[in-house]
A = this chain, B = another copy of it.
Amino acid sequence: MDLLYIIDLTGTLVFAISGAMAAADREIDIFGAAFTGFVTAIGGGSLRDIFLNTRPVWVDDGNYLLAILIGVILAISTHQLIGKLRRTLFMFDAVGISFFTIVGLQKSLDAGSSEIAAIVLGMFSAVMGGVTRDTLMNETPLIFRREIYATACLSGAVAFVVLSSLGLSEEWNAFVSASLIFLIRIFSVRYKLSLPIVGG
């Protein structure tokens, strides 16, 4: 429980850093950077909770907003340094989406959603923060770019449901499914894999 909480806060902080950094690439002021950091960090999980008709965790637990604030301040104050750490941030992001997908899927099942909805909501938890950020910034959301990102999350979420029905224990299942997301993401970028386009 404690470990999961710390991982969750860390993931929030990392997503806030990557969100705020997106602002550093254009003429956006420090408020705008903080806003994009916030949206990136809480957008996906909040959308999941809204669909589940529950209250997002950051509304009640102030630590999530503190983690975002720290992430944003880190990103703004050290953005030239962080710019050189893009490779590290890419790895952090890959870990983050793996973790958020499986946790989001479990939260959805716990809140009584159907398994197929939990798969969608798990993926949403991981990717919709970035999608919301891109939409607000008037850019083509990452899910419409030809990278394997949301598909990796979806694959891991499907794997979790299948392995769960085969009787794998929840801890092992979470580890295996999250690892699958991470590996698909890493390999698809390394080998420039992409999905076929419609009609292509």
Contact = CB atoms under 8 A, between A and B. Distances in A.
- The SS class assigned to the A binding surface is helix
Report how many copies the assembly holds: 3
A117 B197 contact: no
Contact of A53 (B55, B151, B154): B55
A182 B54 CA distance: 34
Interface string A31-42: 111010010000
Nearest to A80: B199
A62 B115 contact: yes
A162 interface: no
A143 B35 contact: yes
A139 interface: yes
Interface stretch (A3-11, A22-30, A86-94, A171-179): A22-30
Nearest to A83: B199
A9 to B, nearest CB: 14
B30 A114 contact: no
B60 A117 contact: yes
Contact of A135 (B136, B150, B151, B198): B136
A195 interface: yes
B138 A196 contact: no
A82 B20 CA distance: 38
B54 A116 contact: no
Across the A-B interface, the 5 shortest Cβ-Cβ residue pairs: A29-B195, A62-B114, A53-B55, A62-B116, A24-B198
